[in-house]
């Protein structure tokens, strides 16, 4: 398939959370939501595609003291850079994959020269990549899962990872994408655990769960992602409370991931937490049910051999995976060599990279004969329609069993969208969305999202955004967030 990138257009609109989301040193209450539209021509056929993400504080770039306004400016600049580079690579009809690889490498090289973190560079490239993939799927009338299994994008995995020579994604992907996936509920650093913890002035009256206890009771959750703060007494106390709540409703039938969110700048600090968890009788079941430990070490040291001696030892019993350190195409390969046993999938880091990382996982597991290495599905507090559904479409294609999904918890459904787009989402995807407490929002059924309708032409969404209802990058102002 030979592709020309004709035009790109970025739209922005603001969203406000129903609950503050505290992760690491950041707290998300308001942020811009970005949607990118591209116009392509593929083998002489014109098509339009879309991608989207929220632009949150202190995740792509955790430079101490950098104001959120400056972070947003940097995110928009990287997106603009990626648009320019991809436009140059696809100025004339060209095969999709070689031009994609050239574009990604060019953007990352330029960002390195500018001192821009690799993870932030990936945001820019992934937005253009996703929108182009969406357009190409629509041009060919195929779903993302079908396009990937048939390799309509012409991926040559060995051009990125020589170990995958002679292989295509169909070798390691399931025959069919999953149509239901367990929600791995985020327990943020500031989230109330019980109803009794919520003061009268903090209690929401929107009819949706607020405390962990209420979520478990009402939604039948069985997977959880628990944030830890590198405060040993506080973390142990909180983990104990979480274990008691979950076990009161689920007994031993649950799984957790422990998310360090780069809170540990010395490996021995994290080692103390793990040793204490192993010793604590009240945490015995939670530790046994821990599926993986995510990115405990700050990214500047996470892939350094001098700080990762304990990672290899810990991974002998519990997989330790990278997330924020997965900034470049070869990050996961480096992590495996250091003793990590997995990596997260996030659309904001690039779906093609996730597909290739799945291939590395398959190889590390002796071409599927073992299950020692794993991929997890993670979130960027994304909300519907485009960002959430494309990411769910990706993890469905990868065949993941559960996915962190916190946007439905921290955001008030689709209320940030125009009414027409909310209704269109409900009509096109009635398995994922429902009218609840007078708003349209994702619904959880026995702990799962039902996502069969995401297998439609395109990258997981049948209803398209209206760019005219958004602000351009030239007219949007940070002050509009009211922060």
Question: Model confidence at 477, in pLDDT bands (50, 70, 90)?
Answer: very high
**Interval 120-146 mean pLDDT:** 98
Domains assigned to the chain: 2-141 (3.30.390.10), 163-469 (3.20.20.120)
Instruction: Indicate whether 464 pLDDT > 90.
Output: yes
| Helices vs. strands in the chain: H and E counts, helices first | 15, 16
Rounded to two decimals, what is the model's pTM? 0.96
Question: Model confidence at 15, in pLDDT bands (50, 70, 90)?
Answer: very high
- Residue at token pair 């495996």: 336
pLDDT number for residue 316: 87
Instruction: Indicate whether 403 pLDDT > 80.
Output: yes
**Interval 443-463 mean pLDDT:** 97
472 CB-near residues (< 8 Å, 6+ apart) = 9, 10, 11, 12
Instruction: Indicate whether 24 pLDDT > 80.
Output: no
Q: What are 363-380's pLDDT values in tens digits?
A: 999 999 999 999 999 988
Q: Name the helix (H) or strand (E) containing 6.
A: strand 2-23
Of 25, 134, 132, 12, which is closest to residue 83 (Cα–Cα)?
132
**Interval 132-149 mean pLDDT:** 98
Instruction: Indicate whether 285 pLDDT > 80.
Output: yes
Of 207, 258, 186, which is closest to residue 410 (Cα–Cα)?
186
pLDDT number for residue 267: 83
Q: Name the helix (H) or strand (E) containing 342.
A: strand 342-345
pLDDT number for residue 1: 87
**Interval 237-241 mean pLDDT:** 98
Q: What are 92-112's pLDDT values in tens digits?
A: 999 999 999 999 999 999 999
Whole-number Å distance between alpha carbons of 68 and 469:
24
Q: What are 295-304's pLDDT values in tens digits?
A: 999 998 999 8
**Interval 132-137 mean pLDDT:** 98
**Interval 168-183 mean pLDDT:** 97
Q: What are 193-228's pLDDT values in tens digits?
A: 999 999 999 999 899 999 999 999 999 999 999 999
What is the torsional sign of CA 63, 67, 70, 75?
A: positive
List of E strands, 24-96: 26-42, 45-54, 94-95
Q: Where are the alpha helices (DSSP H) in 349-437?
A: 351-364, 386-398, 407-410, 419-428
pLDDT number for residue 261: 85
Instruction: Indicate whether 315 pLDDT > 90.
Output: no
Query: pLDDT > 90: what percent of the chain?
Result: 90
* Strand partners of residue 255: 223
On the CB side of 462, CA atoms within 13 Å amount to 16
Strands 374-377 and 342-345, sheet pairing: parallel
Instruction: Indicate whether 160 pLDDT > 80.
Output: yes
DSSP 213-282: HHHHHHH---EEEEE--S-HHHHHHHHHHHHHHHHHHHTT--EEEEE-TT-BSSHHHHHHHHHHHHH-GG
**How high is the mean pLDDT of the chain?**
96
């Amino acid at each position: 398939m030979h592709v020309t990138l004709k035009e790109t257009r970025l739209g922005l609109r603001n969203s406000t959370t129903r609950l503050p989301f505290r992760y690491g040193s950041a707290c998300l209450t308001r942020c811009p939501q970005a949607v990118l539209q591209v116009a392509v021509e593929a083998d002489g056929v014109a098509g339009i595609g879309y991608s989207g993400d929220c632009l949150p504080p202190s995740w792509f770039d955790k430079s101490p003291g950098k104001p959120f306004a400056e972070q947003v400016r940097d995110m928009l600049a990287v997106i603009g850079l990626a648009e320019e580079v991809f436009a140059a690579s696809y100025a004339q009809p060209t095969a999709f994959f070689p031009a994609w690889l050239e574009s990604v490498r060019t953007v990352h090289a330029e960002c390195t020269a500018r001192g821009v973190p690799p993870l932030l560079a990936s945001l820019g490239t992934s937005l253009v990549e996703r929108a182009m993939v969406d357009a190409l799927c629509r041009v060919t009338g195929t779903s993302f899962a079908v396009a990937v299994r048939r390799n309509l994008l012409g991926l040559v995995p060995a051009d990125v990872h020589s170990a995958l020579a002679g292989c295509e994604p169909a070798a390691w992907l399931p025959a069919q994408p999953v149509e239901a996936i367990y929600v791995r509920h985020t327990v943020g650093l500031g989230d109330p655990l019980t109803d009794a913890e919520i003061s009268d002035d903090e209690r929401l009256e929107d009819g949706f769960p607020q405390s962990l206890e209420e979520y478990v009771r009402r939604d039948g959750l069985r997977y959880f992602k628990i944030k830890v703060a590198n405060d040993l007494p506080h973390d142990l106390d909180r983990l104990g409370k979480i274990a008691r709540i979950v076990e009161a409703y689920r007994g031993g039938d649950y799984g957790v991931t422990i998310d360090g969110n780069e809170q540990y700048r010395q490996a021995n600090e994290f080692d103390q937490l793990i040793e204490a968890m192993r010793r604590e009788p009240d945490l015995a079941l939670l530790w046994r049910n821990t599926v993986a430990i995510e990115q405990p070490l700050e990214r500047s040291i996470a892939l350094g051999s001098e700080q990762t001696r304990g990672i290899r030892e810990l991974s002998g019993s519990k997989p330790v995976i990278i997330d924020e350190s997965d900034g470049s195409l070869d990050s996961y390969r480096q992590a495996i060599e250091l003793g990590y046993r997995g990596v997260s999938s996030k659309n904001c880091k690039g779906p093609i990279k996730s597909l290739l990382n799945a291939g590395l996982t398959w190889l590390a597991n002796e071409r599927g004969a073992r299950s020692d290495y794993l991929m997890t599905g993670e979130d960027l507090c994304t909300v519907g329609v485009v960002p959430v559904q494309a990411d769910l479409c990706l993890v469905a294609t990868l065949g993941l069993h559960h996915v962190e999904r916190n946007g439905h918890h921290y955001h008030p459904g689709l209320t940030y969208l125009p009414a027409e787009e909310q209704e269109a989402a409900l009509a096109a995807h009635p398995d994922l969305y429902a009218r609840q407490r007078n708003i349209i929002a994702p619904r959880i059924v026995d702990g799962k999202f039902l996502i069969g309708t995401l297998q439609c032409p395109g990258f997981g969404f049948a209803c398209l955004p209206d760019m005219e209802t958004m602000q351009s990058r030239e007219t949007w102002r940070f002050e509009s967030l009211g922060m």
